[in-house]
Amino acid sequence: MAISLRTLDDGAWISVNDSRTVGASDVWTLARGRFCRCEPAYVLFEGFTDVGVDGTSVVAGAVGRCLECGRHDSLERLPVGRIVDGEFERYEASAVQATLEPVSGRAVEPGRQIPPEGARGGEN
């Protein structure tokens, strides 16, 4: 694959073939609770930590913050685009997320109910 991918400007941009193509400072809509428990989550990415190709997908590591719950975290393998006939085709930030694969090994735990102190009944 002759496409050259790298991050530029401290991760503010993903460069494709030496032109700044995907900017970090967009709000990305992540529909599947992959970043946090919001569904959808509106995540403002601050920067990309790396970029690479996975099959025909272009995936980036990114650091961002959820605008809803405030969670600040990094996300691996954010799909930012794909390669079609040797050309990079960018996903729109607002339209990405039907394409996200389920997370493996990092399933979101269902909220565990801890009964409040004193509600357990029994021994005093």
Q: Measured between alpha carbons, how far is residue 112 from residues 1, 69, 108, 109, 115 in Å? A: 46, 18, 11, 8, 10
Q: How far is CA 117 from the centre of its chain?
A: 37
* From candidates 14, 22, 24, 36, binder to Zn ion by CB under 5 A: 36
Q: Which is nearer to Zn ion, 34 or 82 (CB)?
A: 34
Cβ-based neighbour number of residue 66 at 10 Å: 19
Which of these ranges, 55-63, 66-74, 81-89, 99-107, lies near Zn ion under the rule CB under 5 A? 66-74
Which of these ranges, 18-26, 46-54, 67-75, 108-116, lies near Zn ion under the rule CB under 5 A? 67-75
* From candidates 16, 22, 24, 41, binder to Zn ion by CB under 5 A: 41
Closest alpha carbon to 62 in 4, 17, 109, 7: 7
- Amino acid identity of residue 82, one-letter, is R
Asked if residue 24 binds Zn ion (CB under 5 A), the reply is no
- Shortest distance in whole angstroms from residue 71 CB to Zn ion: 5
Q: Which residues bind Zn ion (CB under 5 A)?
A: 36, 38, 41, 66, 68-69
